[in-house]
Amino acid sequence: MTLFRAGSIALLGFALAVAALRPAFAGGVGFSDEEMNTGGDGPAFFGFVRLVDGPGIADAKVTAELKNKGALVTRTDIMGVYKIPGFGADVNPDDVTISCAKDGYKEASVQRRPHDAGDTKDPIEVECYLQKQ
Amino acid sequence: MPVSFFAKRGVQFWGAIAIGLLIVAVRPEAIHAQTLTGSVSSPAESAMEGVLVSAQKIGSPITITGVSDEHGRFRFPDGQLSPGHYALRIRAVGYDLDGPQAVDVGTASADVAIKLRSTTDLAAQLTNTEWLMSMPGTPQQKRPLIECMSCHTLERIVRSRYSAEAFAPVLARMAQYANNTTQARVQVRVAKRPVRDDLVRKLADYLATVNLSSGPTWPYELQTLPRPKGRATHVVITEYGLPRKTIAPHDVRTDAQGNIWYSNFVENFLGELDPRTGAHREYPIPVLKRGFPTGALDLEPDAEGNLWLAMMFQTGLAKFDMKSKTFQLFPIPRDLDNDAAQQSMVMPRASNVDGKVWTNEVAKQSIMRLDLKTGTYELIDPYQLLPKGTQHGPYGMAADAQNNLYFMDFGGEFIGRIDAKTKESTLFPTPTQNSWPRRGMLDDRGRLWFAEFAANKLGMFDTTSESFKEWTAPTPYTYPYDSFMDKNGDLWSGGMASDRVLRFDPQSGRSVEYLLPRPTNIRRVFVDNSTSPVTFWTGNNHGAEIVRLQPLD
């Protein structure tokens, strides 16, 4: 493992820990219905969008698509990191396709890190590689 | 099949028209060259900038307001006031009008020296925003109060003397009120809402720390916002008082002839106002579900200029034909209807493309689409990917040229798109979590401008690049409800809290906030681009008036 990759993972771990302190779709303490955001979460995804053998790419579009059910589109931060909060518990993570895009680049490959199929707690890491056109 | 109200109930319809059509003839305001000028001062300030001076002719529902400049001078535009006796009022936080209380405007210009004195009841002058600034507590503790503002001001809460124990049942009771409730007209939901006792108790505990339960004065200092200055004083505001206090104008817009149309949030009427004369007319919307809350929310034109209304708890949609001045109703079918069913939004703008009109089903957190040929609705769940039981709801809607739908996820943090052909949903999270995107508009460059209600931000989603920009409102606790991009590139907004209209230039980041003359619960905002400068319109949802704001630059 390169030093860069180890640092990246540590950074991601920290970011996810911070994110976990805040429910994905919850907010204040209301007497409001947003307190109902207590549904059982399914698979969540995270990872980098990066140049092939290069650094992370900021503001890349990341699409998580579930066939016939729709898609969720987010963007990477300045480090090239993206996070997709938990889908519904009935979503099979293997049915979710992750893709990435940015103007001037084309997708080179998508690599999904090994993940225990029975583990619904830990987010699934998917790296998406772009190359310049 | 769509129910033609004419065909089914022709006699009934005309009967209802005869009985229910309320025409309030208001004496036209003649155009004269007279004007009213003056100065504003107080013992503490010899020349007061940013004081709103309002003049209302005796017997007229129209009030015109100017704002004093840096020299303490104000001037109503020539021709706005006809000769007569005018009552005067002012708005300047911390001050009351000492005199004069009225002025006669004759054939010559009148100049009046307005004198102010320090108020003895500052609390009565605070906006919801100022109460939220003043109250101690965390943002999480204050957060539920943004829902209270839908029905009443926060002053009502802070002036109460309830202990936490006494507050809890009050909150539980109010949770059963329909969202289209005002103090003038309380409406109870037919379907009971589940209420969590722990959340009620938590809120009651907090509210008992900010009201008068512990003593005759508030245990914190009252904070106020500064008076308008500079460009924010270059404005004329006209209030058109409506004939009943129960009228709650929610969405306001102009038609091609310059007339004003509005939805009434708590009564089954569509309202029309001629801003040139003040003449007011109402068109009764048939009541489909007796015993259920009445009133409509979203008011949108289709490509032919006909108006559509989302009928809230009356359910379904209503189309108002602008030529025949009649309604055609599209009730939702029984299998989709229930006691909680509610259509708050409608989007008919591109229905000429495919014969489909978008709406929402609040109780099912879903989108619905009406087929105009068959009158049937289809239900679309845009949140299939997300965990069940989470709080999301399609709210503000816009349609592109292909009638693809863009919706705002009120209660959540997404801008959503429904493909008109495949019905597939794509969700785009806003950069700010829990932003509660509320309402907005799609401009001709494919940019969706919207208000992030809970985040106190304005947002823009570029539908081409699928990217966001966000700007924080200059005043905390503004809670913008809606936004509108005008022809000059200025973004307009307003909300239920600050009594201010925000004009924001996204290019430069500069903003102007125009203070309104009265507590104004702003919902939908609309800009008439046919005038120069543009004209801003909104309704005072709790104040039974239509508000016109004319910037002088």
Which residue of chain A is at minimal alpha-carbon distance from B416? A72
Question: B36-120 has which fold?
Answer: Immunoglobulin-like (2.60.40)
Q: How far apart are the first and last CA of chain A?
A: 29
pLDDT value of residue A31: 53
Model confidence at B310: pLDDT above 70? yes
Contacts of B466 in chain A (CB under 8 A): 61, 73
Task: Decide if B426 touches A, using CB distance below 8 A.
Answer: yes
Task: Decide if A121 touches B, using CB distance below 8 A.
Answer: no
User: What would the pLDDT profile of B399-408 be if each residue is shown by its tens digit?
Assistant: 999 999 999 9
pLDDT value of residue A28: 27
Question: Into how many domains does chain A fold?
Answer: 1
Query: A72, B140: Cβ pair inside 8 Å?
Result: no
Q: pLDDT band for position B226 (50/70/90)?
A: very high
Query: B389, A37: Cβ pair inside 8 Å?
Result: yes
CATH superfamily, with its number, for domain B230-551: YVTN repeat-like/Quinoprotein amine dehydrogenase (2.130.10.10)
Q: What is the CATH number of the domain that holds A128?
A: 2.60.40.10
Query: A31, B175: Cβ pair inside 8 Å?
Result: yes
Model confidence at A44: pLDDT above 60? yes
pLDDT value of residue B80: 86
Model confidence at B118: pLDDT above 50? yes
In a domain? residue A69:
yes
Report the pLDDT averaged over residues B292-301.
98
Task: Decide if A95 touches B, using CB distance below 8 A.
Answer: no
The alpha carbons of chain B give a radius of gyration, in whole angstroms, of: 23
Which of the 8 DSSP states describes residue B431? Answer: S
Contacts of A78 in chain B (CB under 8 A): none
- pTM, entire model: 0.89
Numbered ranges of CATH 2.130.10.10 in chain B: 230-551
Report the pLDDT averaged over residues B326-343.
97
- For every residue of B269-302, DSSP letters joined together read EEEEE-TTT--EEEEEPPPSSTTSPP----EEE-
Q: pLDDT band for position A22 (50/70/90)?
A: very low
In a domain? residue A24:
no
Q: pLDDT band for position B315 (50/70/90)?
A: very high
Distance from CA of B460 to the nearest CA of A (A): 15
Q: Which of B175, B195, B384 sits opposite A70 (nearest CB)?
A: B384
Interface pTM, i.e. ipTM: 0.82
Report the pLDDT averaged over residues B487-503.
97
Sign of CA dihedral B311, B435, B521, B73: negative
Q: Is residue B296 within 8 Å of B309, Cβ to Cβ? A: yes
Which residue of chain A is at minimal alpha-carbon distance from B381? A69
Report the pLDDT averaged over residues B33-53.
92
Domain of residue A53 covers 41-132
Record the tokens describing residue B214, joined without a space: 């512990």
Report the pLDDT averaged over residues B460-467.
96
Query: A31, B171: Cβ pair inside 8 Å?
Result: yes
In a domain? residue A11:
no
Q: pLDDT band for position A32 (50/70/90)?
A: low
In a domain? residue A10:
no
The alpha carbons of chain A give a radius of gyration, in whole angstroms, of: 16
Numbered ranges of CATH 2.60.40.1120 in chain B: 36-120
pLDDT value of residue A25: 27
Mean pLDDT over each residue of chain B, to the nearest integer: 93
Task: Decide if B455 touches A, using CB distance below 8 A.
Answer: no
B518 Cβ contact partners less than 8 Å away, ≥ 6 residues apart: B91, B239, B499, B540, B543, B545
Q: Which of B202, B425, B454 sits opposite A27 (nearest CB)?
A: B454
Query: A73, B144: Cβ pair inside 8 Å?
Result: no
